[in-house]
Structure 1
Amino acid sequence: MEEEIFWLKGCIKQNSIRITKEGRIKNMNAEEISLRELIEILIKQKKLIILITVASILVAGIVSFFILDPVYESRMVLMASQFSDKLQSTQIQGEGVDSILNSLSRYPTMTLETYRQQITAPRVMRETIAELKLEEEYDIASLAKAITLETIKDTNLITVKMQHSDPEMAAKIVSKVGEKFVAFVSDKAKEHASSSSSHINTQLETELIKLEEASNELKEFLSQPRGVSELEQELAAKLTQITTYKTNLTDLQIKQQSLKASIQVAETEAKGSNRIILKNQSDGEDNLSIDKLQLMIEDSATLLKIELAAVTSDIANIKEQVNILQKQIEELQVELQEKKHEARIIEKKVEIAQNTYDAFVKKYEELRVAESSQIGESTITVISKAYPATKPVGPRKAMNLAIATVLGVMIGVFAAFFIEYWKTSGNEAKRYQGENL
């Protein structure tokens, strides 16, 4: 039983292998037949393919050599400098009012791409068309489309190109576009500077009025009585006077102590020391007379006490004067500080007004210089002018013929397959109808 089962499995396996091989053979035959049929169709319709290809080449040749006008290309190379960047960097510097003014009058950043986009600006195109009288041939959009702009990598160069059937006209248009573009950049910079200077000039008048008001306030303050300088002089005089008083007071206090000590000595040791002093006041006569003698009685203790009383009185008077002067000095110092504070406020107003006015004047002068300068010529330099071309750049006849050849072959092959398909499908349809009948 097992042997029979094994034999059946072997038979089935052989049959499946045989069927697989037969299928592969049929597929290979079908592929060979399909490729063969395609090649036969191409060989069969080779005349048609050659005819269509030759016709395409002839049409392309006639159009390229006899119908299309030669096209000439003219170009101009411009170089964008960094003048606007330098102008902007100088305007960025500054603080306070200068920083605000710089932000108001700052020239916009001009990159290479910005310049490239501005070359075909409507104003540039309009002026070019008007001056060259191109109204019948171009409008603003068509002229902008006819101009080709290229930027050279890693440089600040811009190439302006244009193709035209007339080489002289192409050179004129490109040159005029470059000329008008330089003028356009200058005018835009001047308009910006003029607008900023007009605004700053208006504000300048306001700042001048503020400066005059602050100056008048300072003059009025300085013309008032008992000003800062007067109070300073008066305070200096008072300080000198009180210093003198204090010096005298110190001397008197020392003298007072000395007199007190002298009185004590005179009272304890010189009791009964009263004496009569006879002083000869004669004119050299030998005999003394009473009217010519001056009797002087001196009591040492009494004299010292009298002198001490005078010194004590002087000390009291000086102390009183010192107290009075001290109060006057304190009042003067308070008044002087108030005056100085008021003067500082007014002087600060004048200083701020003066600095603001000076900043506006400086910025106004800078904008006037920028307004009168040729920024366009400084930022855009013509490296290579546009000249009429001597050799046409189009039509490209060889390329047109090559393209026509490829297209002719493709169209011929498509036509051959289409015709063969049409015939084959028609025959099969007739055969099918005959079998049904």
Structure 2
Amino acid sequence: MEEEISLREIIETMLDGKWIIAGVTAVAVAISAVFSFFVIDPTYKASSTMMVNHINQTETTFNEYLEGVMTPQVYVEKLKSPELLSRVIDKENLDPEVWTVSSLQQKLQIENKENTNLITISMEGKDPEQLASIINTVVAESKTLTAEQVHTQLQALMTEYEEKMTEEQKNLDAAIAEYNQLKADAGLPALILFQQTASGSQYIMEANQELLDELRNLDKEKQVQFEQINTKINKLTQLYNSYYTKYEEARSISSAELIQNKVETIAEAFPPQNPVGPNKMLNIAIAVVLGLMAGTGYVFLRSYWKNTEPVNEPSVGV
């Protein structure tokens, strides 16, 4: 019975204050609508999609290096790097007091979809034109920066291979001089065993039948000496030619073209036409709920206050 009476009192209290509840809700909805439609600036979102490809060229030492360091996961970190974002801020002439590397890192949303080589770059803001421009600059500058880094690596490799070629050239010249000395002592024919190719860099061995016949007539000790120096020269020649091949590979690669083939822009960012925020209907729905809660709370508080007013007791005369 007490529960029945309490429920009845609750309903009666709400009915008595229905206009207050409705009024508070209406005010909350009106405030939310004014802010959502007229006060809060609309928020836009622009995005771009990139794809990090596998290299479809003949496998080389440098291509294997690229496949290892140019994965989608690594490229995501490159897109967040301070070096790249600093270049974007300068390229876009952004206000350095408003746009810092840290703030740009926070605003850029970069996602690599799991088990794919796709990278999505998006950003939200008030200016749709600026959003699209910043994202496209991030994409373009990331390719430029990567190409520069690749070019630096190529130059370092070429320098390394040149040094190794120079070193092996000295070793090869010394081995050939040793052979020539052996040739003079043993009375070997004055034939050129090594000759530069048309490129002027690699070496090949010349051995005709006449030379082979004369070598067979040498005594065993001289033949052993010749075989030893011949083996040494062959190994040095192969080593030299190996460095030369790697040098030519590095020299023939265009870093810009390589990165263009490696990193492809699937969809450029365009200025968005429709805002993504504020969510006006959601804001109004929240305002309705809050208005009902606030109005109902006020009605019950008012009822409680009235029903618990202190009773003034009459004074007793003496």
TM range (shorter): 0.7 to 0.9
Q: Which amino acid aligns with 1:114?
A: V
Instruction: Report if aligned partners of 1:74, 1:162 keep a CA contact under 8 Å in 2.
Output: yes
1:13-412 alignment, distance < 5 Å: 29-83=1-55, 86=56, 90-91=59-60, 102=61, 106-107=65-66, 108-134=68-94, 135-152=96-113, 155-225=116-186, 336-370=219-253, 372-412=255-295
Q: Which amino acid aligns with 1:183?
A: T
Cα distance in 1, alignment partners of residues 215 and 140 from structure 2: 76
- Contact 1:104–1:196 (CA under 8 A) maintained in structure 2: no
Residues 340 and 31 (structure 1), Cα distance of their counterparts in 2 relative to 1, 3 Å cut: farther
Counterparts of 2:215 and 2:151, CA distance in 1: 60
CA drift at 1:103: 8.9
Q: Report the Cα offset of residue 119 of structure 1.
A: 1.9
Q: Would the alpha carbon gap of residues 234 and 39 (structure 1) be closer, same or farther in structure 2, given more than 3 Å must change? A: closer
Identity over the aligned pairs, expressed in percent? 27
- Give the CA deviation at 1:179: 1.0
When Rg is computed on C-alpha atoms for both structures, the one with the higher figure is 1
TM (norm. structure 1) is: 0.58
Instruction: Give the letter for the 2:83 counterpart.
Output: R
Say if 1:418 and 1:352 are closer, same or farther in 2 by CA, change over 3 A.
farther
Structure 2 counterpart of 1:116, one-letter code: V
Residues of 2 paired with 1:417 and 1:356: CA distance? Answer: 93
Residue equivalent to 1:294:
none
Following the alignment from structure 1 to structure 2, what is the Cα–Cα distance between the partners of residues 164 and 180? 21
- Which sits farther off after the overlay, 213-222 or 144-153? 144-153
Are the structure 2 counterparts of residues 217 and 52 from structure 1 closer, same or farther at C-alpha, using a change threshold of 3 Å?
farther
Which amino acid is 1:396 matched to? N
User: Shift in Å at residue 355 of structure 1?
Assistant: 0.8
Q: Deviations over 1:169-208 (max 9, x none)?
A: 2221122111111212222222332333332322222222
2:99 is paired with a residue whose SS is coil
- Please tell me the root mean square deviation across aligned C-alpha atoms, in Å: 3.4
Q: For 1:78, what is the secondary structure of its paired residue?
A: strand
Deviations 1:22-70 (A, max 9, x none): xxxxxxx344344444444444443443333222212211211121112
Q: Is the 8 A contact 1:75 1:174 kept in 2?
A: yes
Q: Which amino acid aligns with 1:106?
A: Y
Q: Which runs of 5+ in 2 are unaligned?
A: 190-209, 314-318
Using the TM superposition, give the Cα deviation of residue 358 of structure 1 relative to its aligned residue in structure 2, in angstroms.
0.8
Displacement after TM superposition at 1:418 (Å): 5.3
SS of 2:264's partner is: strand
Please state whether the residue corresponding to 1:348 is helix, strand or coil: helix
CA distance in structure 2 between the aligned counterparts of 1:412 and 1:115, rounded to whole angstroms: 54
> Could you tell me which amino acid in structure 1 is paired with residue 269 of structure 2?
A
Structure-2 change in CA distance of 1:79 and 1:103 (3 Å): closer
Q: Give 1:414 deviation, angstroms.
A: 4.4
Give the unaligned 5+ runs of structure 1: 1-28, 92-101, 237-334
Q: Deviations over 1:122-143 (max 9, x none)?
A: 2221111112111243111111
For these two proteins, the number of residue pairs brought into alignment is 290
SS in 2 for 1:224: helix
